[in-house]
Structure 1
Amino acid sequence: MVGRLTLLVGDDAGNVSAWFAARPDAVDDSSNSASSSSGSITDDPDSSSVADIPEGPEEVSEEQAEAAVSGATRFIRGHDLGNGPAAVAALAPSSRSRETAVAYADGSVRVLQVTTNDVLAEAKLPTENLRPSEIVLTMPPGEQETTLYAAAAGRLYRAALDFGYPEAGLKAYFRPLHYESYAEPRHVWQTSSATNAGEPKLGLMPLVFGTLKATFYSLLFGVPLALLAALYTSEFLSKPARSRVKPVIEVMASLPSVVLGFLAAIVFAPLVESWLPSVIAAALTVPLTLLVAARIWQSLPQSTRPRWGRWRLPLAAFAIVVGFAIAALLGGPIERLVFAGDVKLWLNGQIGSGFGAWLMLFVPLSAIVVATAAGHWLDPLILRAAGDWSLKRFGIVELLRFSISTLLAFSSAALASWLMTSVGLDPRGTYVGTYVQRNALVVGFVMGFAIIPIIYTLADDALNAVPESLRSASLGAGATQWQTALRVVVPTAMSGLFSAVMVGLGRAVGETMIVLMAAGNTPIMEFNIFNGFETLSAAIATEMPEAVRGSTHFRTLFLAALVLFGLTFLVN
């Protein structure tokens, strides 16, 4: 067929199949280094022959030695194109596409699409007493259509074929297909190739996956910050300070996404790569220092808090700076103790065990479990015993409880990680894996800042719309300011908070420039936070100017835009 990589085979049972060489680890067309001579065809579609390496003292050729080193190349049956009504008499593959014409002994003629295994056309030659050896098919290329010629019993038949875009369709876009040189069916988006393969790969699932991946990580970073910031400015910050803070956050929405994308690609991506262990540690030290600062604030005498009230926000910012400073100091020791001395080689699976990967997963989970358990069982006991305690004593006890809970969370996470590693489980290659400079971590961080102003503004308005009488009634009943915010204000404003998150989700789904400049534009389907991806919007922006007008690629990009619109419409 076109590309000279696929061999079509028809037998006397009417079966037509497509065979090509592939390695088990082949993932793209660049792995096309094998030819059909590396194996032999068998009748069993599930079996495949491997290049034979002579044993004993026999001389081994360079090709055989290379195959033995790089991985065995198999000649596999990639497509089973169905059974015909009679024995296959002739095959005529197109010289410019993945279609082929098949003639059968009873005079039936079919045109098949090899990649999607579809039957595009079917007819029967009006000739009786036909001999299979007399049938000749050919499909010479045409400019606008493919013409099929069939010669049989001294007659010549001509059919003009115009199937439009047979390589497109729901099957090609949203289901895994078995492409040339691939060991198994895959979702692949590849509109250009460095080889002579002529098989279009227009699967949209990698782009949809990349869009959802970028959205997930940006929301994972942006939503908690935006909602907590809105809750803080609405319920705890003084009105003069709030009147200054809120406009500053809202101005962030005016930053052009191309500027954020430039900063992500040129500044943040190299910075994160250089300080990767410290960045991983900062995900733990920054929240921890904020919580410690909050516990210290709670332990201050009640007479001291009003005087220091105006310094609450600067002190919180200082706690964040301290958290980053601690992460920078702990980066080196963490890399040596947890990541076997080199975090990139460790992520690639070349050194160390999966203990660090399990620890990154279990620390937040165990913290949630321990905090929930402490709030459900331990806090009521402390409250019952604290009837005659002073505020200072109560704050010290709370600080001690927090320290014990933190230690318990870390211990349980380390124990669970050790148990998972002991049984031989290694999560590297799933949610963590090979590190690429432009990755989902950088995109999530920068795109999170792009959606924070939108979510914050709507959430703050929703919280401030709660009647003041509800707050006064809760405070008058003896509830603290935090209890009032969490148990009265937030449930009342829940519909507005949900709407704010949904608007931010719609903004993240349609983002173009940040993912275009910082995501690496590699259409792969991996959950790894440390590698790149490609989104629907980025593919449209980069490939639309180069797509041939009216081609399948050109129309597929319009379909990608329709899918992107559908995702945004469903979200909103």
Structure 2
Amino acid sequence: MSKLSEYAPAHRARLRHTKDRLATAGITAGGAGVLLAILLIFFYLLYEVVPLFSGAGIEAGERTPWNGPVPAYLAVEEQGEVGFAVAPDGAARFFDIASGAVIETLDLAGDRAAVTVVAAEAPQSRLLALGHADGGVSLARHDYKLSYPGGEREITPELSRPYADQALSLGRGAVTALAVSDTEDALVVVGEVAGEGLRGTRFRRQESFLTGETTLEEEALVLPTLAGDTAALFIGSGQRWLYRIDSAGDFTVVDLQRSGAAGALAIAATGKLFEGGGGLSTSAMLLGGISLLAASDRGELVQYFMVRDEQSGHRFHRVRDFDTRGVVVARILPEHRRKGFLALGRDGELQIYHTTAHRRLYSREVGAPGREGAAAIAPRGDALIYIGGDGQLAHWAVDNEHPDVSWSALWDEVWYESYDEPAHIWQSSASNNDFEPKYSFAPLAFGTLKAAFYTMLIAAPLAICGAIYTAYFMAPALRRKIKPMIELMEALPTVILGFLAGLWLAPFIEDKLTGVFALLVFMPLGILSFAFAFSRLPVMLRRRVPEGWDAAILLPVVVLIGYLSFAANDPLELALFGGDMRLWITRELGISFDQRNSLVVGIAMGMAVIPTIFSIAEDAIFSVPRHLSDGSLALGATPWQTLVGVVLPTASPGIFSGLMIGLGRAVGETMIVLMATGNTPIMDANIFEGMRTLSANIAVEVPEAEVDSTHYRVLFLAAFVLLLFTFVFNTIAELVRQRLRVKYGSL
């Protein structure tokens, strides 16, 4: 017996020690696993985000001989395999880019007068206009058919001549400058004719309702007489503006839809392109036909577009300039599908820019002097070819996946095309190919903080006050029923709350808006009035209510005040706001009202956040040692003084933790803001306007984003920003909590 009695305690001690070690190892492994998971998420997001901020790269291919003159026009088809070159005399050829071999030769001049100028409609367009020595104009379009005979890709180039049966003539002299624009509504041709100045023609398409046939109605454009020589002509998007630039760098913008006082088309703007002086080196229209890019012979590179102006109607505004590092740009090659462009310097320098991001992505000497040769960029922006005066065809592979993102484009105001001023805009997609993606995080971050602010504005007072009363004043028997009921609310799926908020609460608040504000006014007044009346009752009656059960008798009061507030909605609205409070707010206060707004989000998300804050704060208050409050009461302090001076300071670390955890949940909430707001990314603190948060934006757009595209990686960057938000909030919360614990831990 003695040996067994000695063995048992030792065995239990060893067993307990083993269990302690296993528990320690398990808890340590679990904590390490959580930290590892967070780190893996962090580094995976970083892995997806880093390529956004990498620059462009170029890889040179082999040079091949080029037998012929330097082209006046050069283009590359979609796959980057077949090129199209037009010589100054109109001789054209399709050729293989890799070998330089000629696929087909053509004569665009035909039996017409000699070709004097060749112009393209737009970077992404395959329509060419040729000006002739007799003032005539002819059009040509190059296209490519893709087929797979025998499983191998085959590209068949084709050349068509639109409007071949239409006599296009601008005058009798030689055409020295030319611009063309062809849309579904009209064809517009404008040119500079030697000895006659600017001449233009518009051909409007007229469709017969009976036969469905389309005819062209010719209209002569009476253009103003302008001084100086014409170095470049461009017709803008929508055929509204004609841009004319002379060799001295002076510009004139002509309104093609409005006549001036002298009968000619009105001049909308004039001025100089370059602040540093100097003449024009080269110019081009950016994708979409809205922005004009121009370079001077002194190294300036600028972007202009038309902006609405209250005084003059429109003005030609210098939006941004680009740092060329002193390089004189001799040729500008706009990309076909993005708002970027390549700039070739006079001495063989190549620079790659993106306008919206206001970012130079590449700068290097590649030995392709822009003043001597012709260059073209592939439609996908992944290939560059150059034909120089040395009889060589050079080509490069371009790696430029994500040019349209920069820190300034993400967070600063950006002046986008067709906008009157710089703005924070999120608009990641549109229905046309000329769209300028707008990836501003500012409205999304603002919407996230706005939703969190209104949520905490509603949730924090209710949760903290409820926790104080439940933990400090409420009877234990009632507390054992109330606390689990409130904590059970946390299990309610947020998708249900979002569904109810979007389909029931939002229309209800819109219909009973006056009742909502009446409730906010009458509820505190009614409760205080009832409390005052209750305090004036005889002591015998008040003692019949058990201590800690005071809240129970408030329930009928709260229900009654709520009912009366909403029952009085219509009379109050008719008496105070002319029968429509929403319309009164909009007209009298100038505050817009959206049905799914921040008030709805604050209430719905507040219901989701209140249980979290309440549970943590209530536990912290209830855990304050009883001897502290007993000692305070014994020294003569009232219960309220004890609460404010002893209980709350001691519980403040836990209360603050509850608030920060609730704030973190509000920042990261997705379903409620997704279903209860208009999801409009605007920066407006108005409580009656909606918003779009980072989390809701990710949920909405990730399913539609192309994998590894710029849009896809920007959404991962939004997730990374959201993770940083949460990390910063939690870090601040922990620092404050530790300071509070040190400060009040000695109580």
The structure with the largest helix share of the pair is: 1
- Which of 353, 356, 361 aligns to 1:120? It is 361
Structure 2 CA distance for partners of 1:448 and 1:150, relative to 1, 3 Å: farther
Instruction: Determine the C-alpha separation between the residues in 2 that align with 1:154 and 1:334.
Output: 86
Aligned partner of 2:557 in structure 1 is: 319
Instruction: Determine the C-alpha separation between the residues in 1 that align with 2:546 and 2:253.
Output: 75
Instruction: State whether structure 2 residue 400 is matched by structure 1 residue 163.
Output: yes
Deviations 1:94-131, CA, capped at 9 Å, x for gaps:
1122221123334433221111121122233547xx7x
Offset, 1:165: 1.0
- State the AA in 1 paired with 2:660: M
**2:339·2:436 contact (CA, 8 Å) conserved in 1?**
yes
- Determine helix, strand or coil for the equivalent of 2:612: helix
- Which of 581, 598, 601 aligns to 1:443? It is 601
Aligned partner of 1:347 in structure 2 is: 585
- Which of 688, 693, 703 aligns to 1:530? It is 688
- Determine helix, strand or coil for the equivalent of 2:630: helix
Instruction: State whether structure 2 residue 378 is matched by structure 1 residue 137.
Output: no
Deviations 1:147-172, CA, capped at 9 Å, x for gaps:
24353454433222112311123232
Bigger drift between 133-142 and 256-265 goes to 133-142
- State the AA in 2 paired with 1:317: L
Bigger drift between 319-328 and 89-98 goes to 319-328
Offset, 1:231: 0.8
- Determine helix, strand or coil for the equivalent of 1:95: coil
Instruction: Determine the C-alpha separation between the residues in 1 that align with 2:348 and 2:564.
Output: 80
Offset, 1:38: 10
- Which of 243, 247, 251 aligns to 2:480? It is 243
Instruction: Determine the C-alpha separation between the residues in 2 that align with 1:545 and 1:453.
Output: 32
**1:434·1:531 contact (CA, 8 Å) conserved in 2?**
yes
Deviations 1:534-564, CA, capped at 9 Å, x for gaps:
1111111121111111111111111111111
Instruction: State whether structure 2 residue 698 is matched by structure 1 residue 540.
Output: yes
Long gaps (5+) in structure 1: 8-18, 22-31, 62-66, 355-427
Instruction: Determine the C-alpha separation between the residues in 2 that align with 1:193 and 1:531.
Output: 23
- State the AA in 2 paired with 1:346: W
**2:594·2:689 contact (CA, 8 Å) conserved in 1?**
yes
Structure 2 CA distance for partners of 1:85 and 1:40, relative to 1, 3 Å: closer
Aligned partner of 1:231 in structure 2 is: 468
Structure 2 CA distance for partners of 1:148 and 1:285, relative to 1, 3 Å: farther
Identity %: 38
- State the AA in 1 paired with 2:511: S
Structure 2 CA distance for partners of 1:484 and 1:322, relative to 1, 3 Å: farther
- Determine helix, strand or coil for the equivalent of 2:471: helix
**1:519·1:532 contact (CA, 8 Å) conserved in 2?**
yes
Instruction: Determine the C-alpha separation between the residues in 2 that align with 1:122 and 1:195.
Output: 31
Instruction: State whether structure 2 residue 388 is matched by structure 1 residue 151.
Output: yes
- Which of 627, 631, 643 aligns to 1:485? It is 643
Structure 2 CA distance for partners of 1:173 and 1:453, relative to 1, 3 Å: same
Offset, 1:53: 7.4
Offset, 1:51: 10
**1:38·1:75 contact (CA, 8 Å) conserved in 2?**
no
Tell me the number of residue pairs that the alignment of Structure 1 and Structure 2 aligns.
460
- Which of 703, 708, 715 aligns to 1:557? It is 715
Q: Which has the larger radius of gyration?
A: 2
Bigger drift between 305-314 and 177-186 goes to 305-314
- Determine helix, strand or coil for the equivalent of 2:341: strand
- Determine helix, strand or coil for the equivalent of 1:92: strand
Offset, 1:506: 1.2
Structure 2 CA distance for partners of 1:565 and 1:126, relative to 1, 3 Å: closer
Offset, 1:499: 0.9
Bigger drift between 478-487 and 283-292 goes to 478-487
**1:249·1:453 contact (CA, 8 Å) conserved in 2?**
yes
- Across the aligned residues of Structure 1 and Structure 2, the Cα RMSD in angstroms comes to 3.7
Deviations 1:460-491, CA, capped at 9 Å, x for gaps:
11111111122222333333333322232112
**2:494·2:672 contact (CA, 8 Å) conserved in 1?**
yes
**1:20·1:181 contact (CA, 8 Å) conserved in 2?**
no
- State the AA in 2 paired with 1:233: T
Aligned partner of 2:337 in structure 1 is: 96
Instruction: State whether structure 2 residue 651 is matched by structure 1 residue 504.
Output: no
Instruction: Determine the C-alpha separation between the residues in 2 that align with 1:527 and 1:487.
Output: 36
- State the AA in 2 paired with 1:525: M
Aligned partner of 1:209 in structure 2 is: 446
- Determine helix, strand or coil for the equivalent of 2:609: helix
Structure 2 CA distance for partners of 1:84 and 1:309, relative to 1, 3 Å: same
- State the AA in 1 paired with 2:669: E
- State the AA in 1 paired with 2:326: P
Offset, 1:281: 2.4
Instruction: Determine the C-alpha separation between the residues in 2 that align with 1:461 and 1:330.
Output: 39
Instruction: State whether structure 2 residue 531 is matched by structure 1 residue 294.
Output: yes
Offset, 1:517: 0.6
Instruction: State whether structure 2 residue 571 is matched by structure 1 residue 571.
Output: no
Higher relative contact order (CA 8 A, sep 6+): 1
**2:351·2:363 contact (CA, 8 Å) conserved in 1?**
yes
Counterparts of residues 422-437 of structure 1 (less than 5 Å):
428=590, 433-437=591-595
Offset, 1:318: 2.4
Instruction: State whether structure 2 residue 673 is matched by structure 1 residue 515.
Output: yes
Instruction: Determine the C-alpha separation between the residues in 1 that align with 2:405 and 2:613.
Output: 39
Structure 2 CA distance for partners of 1:217 and 1:48, relative to 1, 3 Å: farther
- Determine helix, strand or coil for the equivalent of 1:102: strand
Instruction: Determine the C-alpha separation between the residues in 1 that align with 2:501 and 2:560.
Output: 24
Structure 2 CA distance for partners of 1:68 and 1:498, relative to 1, 3 Å: closer
Offset, 1:48: 10
Structure 2 CA distance for partners of 1:103 and 1:448, relative to 1, 3 Å: same
Structure 2 CA distance for partners of 1:334 and 1:156, relative to 1, 3 Å: farther
Structure 2 CA distance for partners of 1:59 and 1:169, relative to 1, 3 Å: closer
Instruction: Determine the C-alpha separation between the residues in 2 that align with 1:234 and 1:258.
Output: 30
The structure with the largest strand share of the pair is: 2
**2:337·2:434 contact (CA, 8 Å) conserved in 1?**
no
Aligned partner of 2:504 in structure 1 is: 267
- TM-score normalised per structure 1: 0.72
